[in-house]
């Protein structure tokens, strides 16, 4: 199935299922090649890779960037701290904010997992030209913006619009 019906129109529900399939396929190299080898969960992997890219950040920022629940990010951060892969420091400008950065062991892990991440990205986009990758990036950004939009009262427009009758 390619997401089109007999008239060539795209079926949005089918397209949604294909996006979900894409997400599942993209996580497979992590499960097969990295999870057991480095003893990390998928959320710990996400935290390591993002903190490695950003150098410093905070848990709530990671939750926002990844759209993973704050509780799941918090669990991953706690586990990575216990493993000695992540360090937290109180932000001197905001004592309620904890700054996250990779420890030396976390830096090593990041450098060991980065090539697999890059291989996944390279493989994913190898059949697209630069203009298609750019267009795909813009499409993804527009979809994320739509999903993250809020009404005047700060409620998720997406969750409100998809509330069951």
pLDDT at 30 over 60: yes
Q: Same structural domain for residues 117 and 38? A: yes
Asked whether residue 19 is domain-assigned, the answer is no
- Per-residue pLDDT band for 6 (boundaries 50, 70, 90) equals low
Query: Residue 98's CB: how many other CB atoms inside 10 A?
Result: 15
Query: Residue 156's CB: how many other CB atoms inside 10 A?
Result: 13
pLDDT at 1 over 60: no
Q: Same structural domain for residues 108 and 136? A: no
91, 99 contact by CB (below 8 A): yes
Query: Residue 47's CB: how many other CB atoms inside 10 A?
Result: 29
CA distance 142 to 149: 11
Q: Same structural domain for residues 118 and 154? A: no
Q: Same structural domain for residues 134 and 87? A: no
Q: Report the domain count for the chain.
A: 2
76, 33 contact by CB (below 8 A): no
Asked whether residue 122 is domain-assigned, the answer is yes
Q: Same structural domain for residues 104 and 136? A: no
Query: Residue 129's CB: how many other CB atoms inside 10 A?
Result: 9
Percent of the chain with pLDDT over 90: 79
Asked whether residue 82 is domain-assigned, the answer is yes
Q: Same structural domain for residues 40 and 115? A: yes
Q: Same structural domain for residues 71 and 49? A: yes
Q: Same structural domain for residues 66 and 100? A: yes
- Tens of pLDDT along 95-128? 888 899 999 999 999 999 999 999 999 999 999 9
Q: Same structural domain for residues 111 and 151? A: no
Q: Which residues span the domain enclosing 161?
A: 128-165
Q: Closest Cα to residue 68, out of 52, 87, 49, 85?
A: 49
**The pLDDT of residue 5:** 59
- Per-residue pLDDT band for 31 (boundaries 50, 70, 90) equals confident
Structure tokens at 164: 């069951």
The number of CA neighbours under 13 Å toward the Cβ of 38 is 24
In the chain, how many H helices and how many E strands? 8, 2
- Tens of pLDDT along 39-87? 999 999 999 999 999 999 998 899 999 999 999 999 999 999 999 999 9
| Dihedrals phi, psi of 24, to nearest 5 degrees | -65, -40
**The pLDDT of residue 8:** 76
Q: Same structural domain for residues 163 and 106? A: no
Q: Same structural domain for residues 69 and 87? A: yes
Which pTM was predicted?
0.82
């Amino acid at each position: 199935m390619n997401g089109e019906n007999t008239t060539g129109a795209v079926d949005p529900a089918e397209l949604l299922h294909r996006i979900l399939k894409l997400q599942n396929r993209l996580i497979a190299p992590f499960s097969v090649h990295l999870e057991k080898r480095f003893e990390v969960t998928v959320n710990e992997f996400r935290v390591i890779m993002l903190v490695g890219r950003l150098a410093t950040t905070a848990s709530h920022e990671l939750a926002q960037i990844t759209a993973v629940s704050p509780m799941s990010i918090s669990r991953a951060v706690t586990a990575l701290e216990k493993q000695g892969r992540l360090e937290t420091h109180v932000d001197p400008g905001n004592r309620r904010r904890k700054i996250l950065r990779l420890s030396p062991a976390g830096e090593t892990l990041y450098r060991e997992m980065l090539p697999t991440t890059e291989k996944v990205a390279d493989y994913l986009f190898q059949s697209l030209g630069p203009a298609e990758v750019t267009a795909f990036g813009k499409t993804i950004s527009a979809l994320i913006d739509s999903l993250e939009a809020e009404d005047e009262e700060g409620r998720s427009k997406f969750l409100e619009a998809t509330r069951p009758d």
